[in-house]
Structure 1
Amino acid sequence: MSGSLRNGSLWTGSLWLAWRQQRVLVGICAAVLAAAAAIAAYYRSGMLGDLRSGLFDHCDRGPIYCTASDTGTPLLLDIEPLQYLGVLNIVLPVIIGVFWGAPLLGRDLELGTHRTVLAQGVSRGQWFASRFALAAVTTMAVSGALAAVFAWWWRPAADRSYGLFWYENAALSGSGPRVVAAALFGLAVGTLLGLLARRVLAAMGLTLLVTGAVTLVLEWTHRTRLLVPPHTYTSAGSIPKEPMGEKWSAGNYGLITVSGRRDDVMNCPFPSSAQLRECMAEHGYVARFYEANRAGDYWIFQWTDTAVLGGLALLLTAVTVLLLRRRV
């Protein structure tokens, strides 16, 4: 019984110390979240007011800009602040990794204060778990809340010519469950590098490089459709092709022969007309095609990124746990 109480007391003390060390960061996260929610409420209210005014009632869904009937100028909602929130969510793993993950173990190791804690009977596992658990729970809560704020703010303007389409960076990478997985990945990277470098500034620099590089690589996979291939849409030249609408074009258009060979669309650069049909018949083309990701692929992108980033976060955390005995 006494051993159990002592162990519980050690856990309580370790958690209390973790809270003391991280409470400023928790407070900053709460302040950022409150500010984001307040800004979202203000601008979303203005957005709804503009939509209720009737100014956009004649606008169709799709990528073609809707214009004012009197001036011909494009009609757009004020989505710039929303895009800023999306950018914040995209760089969140870098911020969390650099300013929270890197010092999480690195500061104690650099100053040697971990020896005092371990001398009180706290195990390496307890020392790590108490710090990482608090940081991870706060990271999940804040990143999840920021993603939810973005989704709530974005919904009235989603996939509209006057708003923000699902495949734009701010929406595709700044919303959904990937934001949470990315934030945890940043925390895991910083924590591991803090353990390895044992110097906070060095760990922060390395974390910046790693998290920044992974963020850029994932953005590259979106643009190249490496992980989520586009769909191919075909149509005969005698009828109009299916409109792009909310799809995300891969930039690949062309013509298809009987053998299945794909040629450049400029071989028959005509709209759906007699000229197009004549040109296709002359060159042996049986159909046109274009490649694009449909709007439903948003969730495929989301869960693919979440799996990649979440898997890396789990792997890096496991490596950190395995290295504790050697590095501490």
Structure 2
Amino acid sequence: MIWLNWRQFRLQALVAAVVLALIAVYLLHLGGDIRDAHDAYRSGCGNPGDCAQAKSQFQSTYQNTLLFLAAGLGLLPVVIGAFWGAPLIARELETGTHRLVWNQSVTRRRWLLGRMAFVGLAAMLLTGLASLLLTWAASPYDQVAGDRFGTVEFGARNIAPLGYAVLAFTLGTVIGLLVRRTLPAMAITGVVFLVLQFAVPNLVRPHLMPPEKTTLPMTAETINQARNLGSITGAPVIGGLEVPGAPDAWISEISPMRTADGRTLSETAFNACLNTPPETGAGGTFGDAAVCLAKLNLHVDIRYQPSDRYWAFQLSETALYVALSGILIAFGLRRIRRA
């Protein structure tokens, strides 16, 4: 079985090894550059003003590159599921070559488990090493940016990609077993896993652990520290805040601006401050608008996850994907008896 699996998988293994080698060369080079830039950033922190400028320059230099790489690593499980998982059994059933094995002493279940274990371990090895390299390369940037819980970044660091790879491969294999046609199985696998990659971070991840809650007064200083104010609908919303004392926390929900009695600020009052605030000559990102809103005695309610829960979330989400993979494997073992 091992020899047969290797013979059937050797071309994919060779391609994966070449791709991994290219990834390693690039990320090792990038990691060295980031560390040199990080040292330069640290040396430029003589005073708070210079430090803020050096930090902004450091982040802007590598932000888009690392975001692109994280998105690319996020697509790797999709490729594994569609090109390794989906054809694994579907091609055998489509061409009829499975009968040659089933007429030997190998049982159907053992054949399925052997095929999945061999290629599945290769998928985990490829994804795990790529994730390790990207995590190492981006480590200085992540320490400065404090955005480890970012939707794209979280799934491309540490152990979470292993869970994604296992589920994508298992999902592709089972879909191939059900569809029995290679190309449709590949297409369905890609679509389904992309939907999962969108749904889990946005709909499941925020509820893996109960969030902490706090209330943040909307002072002019706090408003000026935000990244955005208002929306295209005119709602009294603010985004990009930080939890006092927990700058690396993952904020999962920010309420609209509320008055002292807990009511949502009216859009009329909000837009009046945003569009035509009294002129005070105030500085800052939002200037006079921030001063105008601060005089209304507003606050927002925040739900957040402390940064020290990062590894708990990594383990929980990985365990979720592994559990789903186990369910799919059990289903596949039952289904193979009727294939």
- Per the normalisation by structure 2, the TM-score is 0.75
Q: 1:162-209 deviations in whole A, cap 9, x for unaligned?
A: xx7213233212112221111110111111111111111121121112
Structure 1 Cα separation of the partners of residues 119 and 58 of structure 2:
45
Using the TM superposition, give the Cα deviation of residue 160 of structure 1 relative to its aligned residue in structure 2, in angstroms.
2.1
Task: Judge conservation of contact 1:66–1:75 (CA < 8 Å) in 2.
Answer: no
CA distance in 2, matches of 1:212, 1:149: 23
Partner of 2:15: 28
Contact 2:70 2:156 in 1 (8 A): yes
Pick the aligned partner of 1:216 from 189, 198, 202.
198
Alpha-carbon offset, residue 265 of structure 1: 9.8
Distance in 1, matches of 2:46 and 2:94, equals 60
What residue is the counterpart of 2:148 in the other structure? 166
Letter aligned with residue 5 of structure 2: A
Q: Which residue of 2 aligns with 1:207?
A: 189
Of the candidates 81, 95, 107, which is equivalent to residue 97 of structure 1?
81
Residues 232-282 of structure 1 show CA distances to partners (whole Å, capped at 9, x for unaligned) of 223678998726622333333545757xx4644997989999x96x854xx
Is the Cα contact below 8 Å between 1:47 and 1:77 reproduced in 2?
Answer: no
Match of 2:131 among 147, 158, 177: 147
Name the structure where helix makes up a greater proportion of residues.
2
Q: Which amino acid aligns with 1:233?
A: T
C-alpha RMSD of matched pairs (Å): 3.6
2:214 corresponds to which residue? Answer: 233
2:263 corresponds to 1:251: no
Structure 2 counterpart of 1:192, from 158, 169, 174 = 174
Structure 1 pair 289/251, CA: closer, same or farther in 2 (3 Å)? Answer: closer
Distance in 2, matches of 1:211 and 1:54, equals: 39
- Return 5+ residue gaps in structure 1 as ranges: 1-13
C-alpha separation between the residues in 2 aligned to 1:221 and 1:239?
A: 33
* % identity of equivalent residues: 25
Amino acid at match of 1:22: F
Structure 1 residues 85 and 295: CA distance shift in structure 2, 3 A: same
Please give the per-residue CA displacement for 1:116-157, whole angstroms capped at 9, x wherever unaligned: 122232221232122111111111211211221121111111
Structure 1 residues 74 and 116, CA gap change in structure 2 (3 angstroms): closer
After superposition, residues 12-91 of structure 1 pair within 5 angstroms as 14-54=1-41, 57-58=44-45, 66-67=52-53, 76-91=60-75
Change (3 A) 1:84 1:236: closer
> What amino acid is the match of 1:152?
W
**TM-score (norm: length of structure 1):** 0.77
> Is the contact made by 1:98 and 1:205 (CA closer than 8 Å) also made in structure 2?
yes
Matched-pair contact (CA < 8 Å) for 2:91–2:181:
yes
The aligned amino acid for 1:67 is Q
Amino acid at match of 1:313: S
Q: How far 1:291 moved relative to its partner?
A: 3.4
Cα distance per residue 1:19-55 (max 9 Å; x no partner)? 1111111222222222111111111111122222357
* Residue 110 in structure 1 maps to residue 94 in structure 2: yes
5+ residue gaps in structure 2? 223-243, 274-287
Distance 1:288 1:16 in 2: 62
